[in-house]
A and B are shown apart, each in its own frame.
Chain A
Amino acid sequence: MTFIQKLSKYGVAAAFWIALITLSIITVVSYTAHNQAYDNWRWVEHTQQVSLEIEELTSLYLSAKVTWRNFISAGKNIDLEAYESAVNAIPLKITSLQTLVSDHPQQQQRIKTLSNLLDGDIAVIGATVSLKAGGRFVDPSAPFAPDLNWQKIKHLADIIQNEEKELLTRRSLELKQSTARLVLIIITGNVAGLGILTLAFYFLQREVGQRKIAQDALTASEHHFRLLAESEQAANKELESFSYSVSHDLRSPLRAINGFARILHEDYADKLDDEGRRLLKVIRDNSNRMGILIDDLLEFSRLGRKPLAAVNVDMTALVQGVNDEFQNECHGRSVQVIIHPLLPAYGDPSLIRQIWVNLLSNALKFTSHIDSAFIEIGMQEGNGTIIYYVKDNGAGFDMRYYDKLFGIFHRLHRDNEFPGTGVGLAIVQRVILRHHGKVWAEGKPNQGATFFFELPQGSKDERA
């Protein structure tokens, strides 16, 4: 698997998670930023409020002082109401300011100092008002005059206001920086998220595309195989009908040759001399032989086409059965057949039976001239296979002609020695090759032959 393939396999899911996490982080950061901006807005408001309160405080103080001054210089007829309301309002303003700057100890200290200064002035003013109200003389240019603590109060109020302004500036700067950072994070995050999503989309698209291609290829190959199967089926059917035609159209004239030769023999045998009758026999023998050849050829072609129905085959029982069938043919002969226990093979029972029939009938045929024929059937275990063998002490064969042994219509013996069509071993080879097995032989002229064949091993417990 290439890196790209791995990436596209695991990458898509991973990319979605990464994108999801990135976008979640951005959401959290944006929310935080929003809160910060809100705080900042409140800070501006706060600073404005502090300034306002300070302004009001100073103006209350000034109004109290002006009223007091007028009272001192003008005397009793001056109304003290404005003075009294200012004196009453000042502590409230102080309390309000203290609350506003509760998070800033330095400012709190300053406000406390301011409050003390104001209290001091108000105490002086209050004492002089009481004296004046009692009809006593108060010198307007007394030591506490003319400005009392005004300069100090003014200075302190300015300091408090400046401090607030400075705080605002600092917070604004901080906010500006954090906002810039935030914008960078949001942009980067979004770009990254979008990039990852795009990549994931690309891989997804690619995978979908590849799947589509694979699907198309699969469909195409299915179609191809269906066509192939159909054409094979058609070819098989054609071959079947061809074999059928061969069998009948070839045999119909053969029937005529054989039949008429027979009629000639039946009706005119007495009119022919010995040579005439011999010639007639040659015609009949050859037409019979051709009949057998056609049968064998058809059998060979049928075995090649028959579908394999593979099961476990009990070889011992199969061989015993085949051997029993041959018993009649061995009548009057001294034949000893030894069948060793055989492990099961895996294959088509009817086809494998044909192997045994052909090999055993060959062994019997090629030992027919031997006084005491000996045939041995056994096996050797291979690697997942079984090698079976049929050994005889018959005519054997010359290894020089080995390559012709399994060829169709090839014979290593003359027909007058051992009759046959040369199809039997070709059928054996064909059946074994169809089972993906192997067949081979060893032999020496007049010293017997051994035929070996290898088939897949069958299961021991499961019998066919």
Chain B
Amino acid sequence: MSELEMVEILLVEDNSSDAELTVRALKKSNLANHLIWLKDGAEALDFLFCKESHAGRLSGQPKLIMLDLKMPKIDGIEVLRRVKGDEHLKTIPIVVMTSSREEKDIVESYKLGVNSYVVKPVDFQQFHDAISSTGLYWMLMNKVPEK
């Protein structure tokens, strides 16, 4: 993973199996060429705010953040709050990808300004399809403001 390269998708997911399956589904749709996978909320924030181990990276920001909610240290809700509360980062589309269909999580995410909320299907095929179509929509069909 080279930080000099442009990052298109930032995947924040603590479960390595889910991450691998996600990456594979995105790869099949040719969307994983510029993808970076981080394992928890703290690392994601460091990356986005160019701090700690990511202090020296070039300041290019991802076009899409795929965010899990249930994570150790800093959870997805907190990442969402910090990113959407930041003037420079708030325009980055964030898709929450989680197993939780709890109303509380959904409401909270939307209040914080999430762009999309996807419940991970339990079936592998459906999971695969959901990841692909989400990636395709946000990376190819959705239009974001020019920096």
Query: Do A256 and B18 have beta carbons less than 8 Å apart?
Result: yes
Contact of A259 among B100, B101, B102, B127 (CB under 8 A): B127
- List residues of chain A with CB within 8 A of the CB of B17: 252-253, 255-256, 259-260
- List residues of chain A with CB within 8 A of the CB of B30: none
Please give me the residue from chain A that is nearest to B98 by CB atom.
Answer: A248
Closest beta carbon of chain B to A155's beta carbon, Å: 126
Query: Do A291 and B123 have beta carbons less than 8 Å apart?
Result: yes
Query: Do B24 and A263 have beta carbons less than 8 Å apart?
Result: yes
Most A CB within 10 A of own CB, among B15, B21, B99, B124:
B124
Closest beta carbon of chain B to A365's beta carbon, Å: 23
**CA A94 to CA B101, docked complex, whole Å:** 125
Asked whether A107 is an interface residue with its Cβ less than 8 Å from the other chain, the reply is no
- List residues of chain B with CB within 8 A of the CB of A258: 124
Query: Do A248 and B124 have beta carbons less than 8 Å apart?
Result: no
Please give me the residue from chain B that is nearest to A256 by CB atom.
Answer: B17
Query: Do B18 and A248 have beta carbons less than 8 Å apart?
Result: no
Closest beta carbon of chain A to B85's beta carbon, Å: 29
Chain A positions 383 through 399: 1 when the CB is less than 8 Å from some CB of chain B, otherwise 0 = 00000000000000000
Considering only residues 69-119 of chain B, those with a C-beta below 8 Å from chain A are 99-102
Please give me the residue from chain B that is nearest to A258 by CB atom.
Answer: B124
Asked whether B4 is an interface residue with its Cβ less than 8 Å from the other chain, the reply is no
- List residues of chain B with CB within 8 A of the CB of A333: none
Asked whether B1 is an interface residue with its Cβ less than 8 Å from the other chain, the reply is no
**CA A396 to CA B17, docked complex, whole Å:** 44
- List residues of chain B with CB within 8 A of the CB of A244: 101-102
- List residues of chain B with CB within 8 A of the CB of A255: 17-18, 21, 122-124, 127
The answer to whether A248 and B24 touch (CB under 8 A), given A253-B17, A255-B127, A260-B17, is no
- List residues of chain B with CB within 8 A of the CB of A291: 122-123
Query: Do A251 and B24 have beta carbons less than 8 Å apart?
Result: no
Query: Do A259 and B124 have beta carbons less than 8 Å apart?
Result: yes
**CA A248 to CA B120, docked complex, whole Å:** 9
**CA A262 to CA B20, docked complex, whole Å:** 13
Query: Do A248 and B99 have beta carbons less than 8 Å apart?
Result: yes
**CA A256 to CA B101, docked complex, whole Å:** 20
Closest beta carbon of chain A to B82's beta carbon, Å: 26
**CA A51 to CA B68, docked complex, whole Å:** 129
**CA A249 to CA B70, docked complex, whole Å:** 11
Contact of A252 among B99, B101, B128 (CB under 8 A): B99
- List residues of chain A with CB within 8 A of the CB of B18: 252, 255-256
The answer to whether A259 and B122 touch (CB under 8 A), given A248-B99, A252-B15, A252-B99, is no
Query: Do B21 and A248 have beta carbons less than 8 Å apart?
Result: no
- List residues of chain B with CB within 8 A of the CB of A248: 99-100, 122
- List residues of chain B with CB within 8 A of the CB of A259: 17, 21, 124, 127-128
**CA A256 to CA B100, docked complex, whole Å:** 17
Asked whether A247 is an interface residue with its Cβ less than 8 Å from the other chain, the reply is yes
Considering only residues 9-53 of chain B, those with a C-beta below 8 Å from chain A are 15, 17-18, 21, 24
Closest beta carbon of chain B to A89's beta carbon, Å: 122
**CA A16 to CA B27, docked complex, whole Å:** 96
Chain A positions 282 through 296: 1 when the CB is less than 8 Å from some CB of chain B, otherwise 0 = 000000000100000
Query: Do B122 and A251 have beta carbons less than 8 Å apart?
Result: yes
Chain A positions 136 through 169: 1 when the CB is less than 8 Å from some CB of chain B, otherwise 0 = 0000000000000000000000000000000000
**CA A291 to CA B18, docked complex, whole Å:** 17
- List residues of chain A with CB within 8 A of the CB of B100: 248
Please give me the residue from chain B that is nearest to A250 by CB atom.
Answer: B122
**CA A249 to CA B17, docked complex, whole Å:** 13
Please give me the residue from chain B that is nearest to A287 by CB atom.
Answer: B124
Considering only residues 250-280 of chain A, those with a C-beta below 8 Å from chain B are 251-256, 258-260, 262-263
Since A248-B100, A263-B24 are in contact, a sample of 15 more A-B pairs with Cβ atoms closer than 8 Å, ordered by chain A residue number, is: A244-B101, A248-B99, A248-B122, A252-B15, A255-B17, A255-B122, A256-B17, A256-B21, A258-B124, A259-B17, A259-B124, A259-B127, A259-B128, A291-B122, A291-B123
- The 4 A-B pairs at the shortest CB distance, nearest first, are namely A256-B17, A251-B122, A248-B99, A259-B124
Q: Using CB atoms and an 8 Å cutoff, list the residues of chain B in contact with chain A.
A: 15, 17-18, 21, 24, 99-102, 122-124, 127-128
Instruction: Name 27 interchain pairs, CB-CB below 8 A, sorted by A.
Output: A244-B101, A244-B102, A247-B122, A248-B99, A248-B100, A248-B122, A252-B15, A252-B17, A252-B99, A253-B17, A255-B17, A255-B18, A255-B21, A255-B122, A255-B123, A255-B124, A255-B127, A256-B17, A256-B18, A256-B21, A258-B124, A259-B17, A259-B124, A259-B128, A260-B17, A291-B122, A291-B123
